[in-house]
Every structure is written in structure tokens, then in C-alpha cells.
């Protein structure tokens, strides 16, 4: 297993660790530690892709597990932010629904031998979602108007870019539906 794939697996392993630290309230500095874990996990997303491409070590495992790791991390964080009344349910629903829809599109495409690569919008979507979650978590750790404002507007940006990204995938890959008729 190459380094990029190991980083992807570390990101997946960090999801339950993140959940434990943020939900078990008796852990001293749990929210702060959970925020740091989320930041580290988010950084592994960028690092594993860079390593895989720069070392020419892109694998089928990585192509499958990297987006799955991202979805697990972001979905877990969004659900917790809803539970903690930091974001509205509709925000998490839009973001998670887009992930299911694009994954469904990719699954249909793959069954027809079509590979749908990550788009520029998809990459920007992931970054904006992670930034929004990080600022929301930071505001939980150190509540103040600056972090609250940045979190609020970054969540709005994440939702807008999530929608644009989803539409972009379906518009650019509408031929997938022509193949299955």
C-alpha cells in the first residue's frame, strides 16, 4: 500500500476519533482536539492526492476510497453541527443529497464503462465545505463574533458551491443517461 492510500485510510480512521472527542463531553478540551483532528484529516485529503499524482501512484483503491473518506468526514461533521444547532438541517441535507446524487451518477457511469473524474467545481466544493466546518468548529471552541460570522458566510458559500458543483456534474455528464435508455 502506497503512502497516499495510507493517508486516505488515516482520514477514515480519524472520523470516529473526531466523533469521540467532539461528543464525549467529559474529555478535557474535547472540542478543541476534535477541531484539530478535523483539520488534520482535511489536510490529508490534499496531501494524499498530491502524493499520488506526483509519484505517479494513482490507484483504483485511491480513486474509490479518497472520495469516500471525504464524504465520511464531511457527513459526520455536518450531522454533528446539526445536532449541536450550529447549522440548519436543510444545509446538511443539501450537501449530503448532492453527495448521494453525484455518487449515483458515477455508479451509473461506471456500469457503462464511463469514468467521471473529479471536476474543478467538485474540488472547490470540498475545500469550501471543509473550511465552513472548520470555522464552525473553531467557533464552538472559541465563540466570538468573528468566527461566527466567518462560519456563517462560509456555510452559505459551501451550500451555493455544492449546488453549482452538483449541477455541473449532471450537465457535463448528461450522456450517461443517454447510455442507459
Counted domains in the chain: 1
32-84 pLDDT tens trace: 999 999 999 999 988 998 898 899 988 888 888 888 899 999 999 999 999 99
Q: Which three cell numbers stand for residue 102?
A: 453525484
Give the model's pLDDT for residue 161.
Answer: 98
Diameter over CA atoms, the chain: 57
Residuewise pLDDT in 10s, the chain (181 residues): 899 999 999 999 999 999 999 999 899 999 999 999 999 999 998 899 889 889 998 888 888 888 889 999 999 999 999 999 999 999 999 999 999 999 999 889 888 888 888 889 999 999 999 999 999 999 999 999 999 999 999 999 999 999 999 999 999 998 888 756 5
Rg over alpha carbons for the chain, rounded to the nearest Å, is: 17
Q: Report the alpha-carbon distance of residue 49 to residue 66 in Å, rounded.
A: 8
CB 170 within 8 A of CB 106: no
Give the model's pLDDT for residue 117.
Answer: 80
Instruction: State the pTM of this model.
Output: 0.91
Q: Which three cell numbers stand for residue 10?
A: 488515516
CATH code where residue 169 lies: 1.20.120.1760
Range of the domain at 132: 3-180
Q: Tell me the angle at which helices 60-83 and 30-54 cross, rounded to the nearest 10 degrees.
A: 160
Amino acid at each position: 500500500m502506497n503512502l497516499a492510500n495510507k493517508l486516505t485510510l488515516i482520514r477514515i480512521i480519524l472520523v470516529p476519533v473526531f466523533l469521540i472527542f467532539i461528543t464525549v463531553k467529559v474529555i478535557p478540551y474535547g472540542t478543541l482536539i476534535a477541531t484539530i483532528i478535523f483539520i488534520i484529516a482535511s489536510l490529508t485529503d490534499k496531501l494524499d492526492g498530491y502524493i499520488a499524482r506526483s509519484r505517479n501512484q494513482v490507484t483504483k483503491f485511491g480513486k474509490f476510497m479518497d472520495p469516500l473518506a471525504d464524504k465520511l468526514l464531511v457527513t459526520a461533521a455536518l450531522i454533528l453541527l446539526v445536532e449541536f444547532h450550529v447549522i440548519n438541517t436543510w444545509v446538511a441535507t443539501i450537501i449530503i443529497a448532492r453527495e448521494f446524487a453525484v455518487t449515483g451518477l458515477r455508479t451509473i457511469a461506471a456500469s457503462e464503462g464511463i469514468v467521471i473524474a473529479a471536476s474543478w467545481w467538485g474540488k472547490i466544493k470540498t475545500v469550501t465545505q471543509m473550511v465552513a466546518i472548520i470555522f464552525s468548529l473553531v467557533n464552538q471552541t472559541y465563540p466570538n463574533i468573528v468566527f461566527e460570522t466567518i462560519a456563517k458566510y462560509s456555510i452559505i458559500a459551501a451550500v451555493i458551491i455544492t449546488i453549482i458543483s452538483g449541477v455541473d456534474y449532471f450537465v457535463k455528464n448528461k450522456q450517461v443517461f443517454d447510455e442507459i435508455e
